[in-house]
Structure 1
Amino acid sequence: MTRLVRTPAGWAVDRDGKLLALGATLADLLALPLAEARARYEAASAPAEAGPARAPVDVQEVWAAGVTYQRSREGRREESGHAALYDHVYAAARPEIFFKATAGRVVGDGEPVGIRADSGWDVPEAELGLVVNAAGEVFGYTAGNDMSSRSIEGENPLYLPQAKVYARACALGPAIVPVWEAGPGPFPVAVRVERDGAVAWAAETSTARLARTPEDLVSWLTRALDFPAGWCCSPAPVRSRSVISRCVAVTW
C-alpha cells in the first residue's frame, strides 16, 4: 500500500513507511490525465525528508455534497422545520453541492478544528473525500471532517454558508490513497468522539449506502466549473450530535 502525503518539505509517496520525494505538487499531478499522474507517482524513488503530515491539499478548493444518505435526510428533518425541502433534495436529480473551503482554510489530521462562537449546536461529519483531477477523474481518496453548525442551518436553510464555511471548519488527511491502491469500494466511513481519553460517541457507515454515486456528484459540479489544479469533494458524512476539537481521520 502506498499513500500520497504532504510534509513540511513537500509532497512524498509513503511506500510502506518509506518516504519518497514526488518532485511535484498535488496540483501538478491533478493537471495530468490519470494514467500519466499514476506513472509520475510510481516513478518516485529519491528519499524524502520526514516531518509532520500536513493537510493533503495545496491550491485546491474543497466542495461538499449534502443529503446523500437517507440518514442524513432524516437527521436534517429532525433539526429544522423544513422537512419537505430536504425530502426534495434527497429525491431530486440535481444534488445539493456547496463550497466548503479554500486550501488555506483546511486543517490537517490532529489539528484543532473550528467551532463557531455564535452557534449552540455544532457537529463533526466524517467524510470520504474524493480527490479529483482537472479532467473530472477521481485520482484518490482522503478522510475528512466537515464541521457544521446545526443550530444555524436548522434556523434557516439559506444560512447554510454560515453553518458550513468558516475558519478551520474543514479538516482533511492525513494522506491521499490513489484509486488504484484503494480498489473499487465500497468503503467504510467512521467517526469517533473522544473526551478525556474515553470514547463518548462512535458510529460508522459505508459508501454502499450513498443515494448518489461519487461519479454522479463529480459530473454535476464539473458541468459549469473548471478546476485546472484539481479539487476535493466530500460526499459521505457520518454525523454526531457532539462537538470534537480535533480531526480523527480514517485511514486504509
Structure 2
Amino acid sequence: MASESTSPKPSITNTKAELQYWLMKAEPDSRVVKGKDVKFSVDDFEAAGTTAWEGVRSYEARNIMRDKMKVGDKVLFYHSNCKTPGIAALAEVCKEAYPDHTAWDTSHPYYDAKTDKDNPRWYMVDVRFLHRVQHFVPLAVLKTLDAHELEYLRDEHKAAVKSMALINKGRLSVQPVSQLAYEAITMMGERGGFETEGKAAGAKRKRAEKEQGDKEEAGGRVTRQRRKR
C-alpha cells in the first residue's frame, strides 16, 4: 500500500477537455533484483486493482509523475522487457504524486542511499486498473502500422502513433501520449484486425521485432499485493 505517513497534495480530477494520456511500463516476466521479483504483469495489475507506481528512478519519468500527472488521466499499461512488448490494458491515475518511500527502504530493489523522507528525491502516483484490451497491441505492430490495413484508423491516427515517444524514444518507463495516439491504440485494442497479416506485413513485423531490442531503463514498478479499491 501507499505510505500512510505522507500526505499528498490535494487532487483535482481533470475534466474530459483537460485529460492527459500516458504510457506506463512494467515487466510481465520474473526478474529478481536484490532478492525480490520486479515482475508486474497485467494479471498482477488486475488482481491488485490499484497500485502505487513505485521504484521509478529516472528523473524524466519522475518529473512527469510529480509535476504533470493528474487524477483522471488515462494510462496505457505496457508490457516491457519481454519477448512481445506491447499494450495489455487501460488504466487511470487515481492519486497524484507523493514521495516514493521505497527509495529509503534498504531492502527494496531500487533503494537510493542519497534520499530520505525528510528530503525525498523520488515520487510515485497511484494507478487504477480499468480493463484489459481485447486485442493485445504489440510494439512491432505499432512500428509497422502502414503495413496493416486497419480501415478504422484515420491518417492522423497513424501519424500520431508514428510520432509516439515509444517509437522514437523507447527507453523511458513513463511517457506522454497524444490524444490521437491514445484513441488509435484503444481502437486497436477493441477492434484488432492486425493479428492476421499478409506476407509483407509479417516480414516487416519480424524485422521490427529483430531490430527493436526493447531495452528498458533501470527501475520500475515492483509486484506487491494490494487491495482493490
> Under a length normalisation based on structure 1, what TM-score does the superposition of the two structures give?
0.26
Q: Name the structure where helix makes up a greater proportion of residues.
A: 2
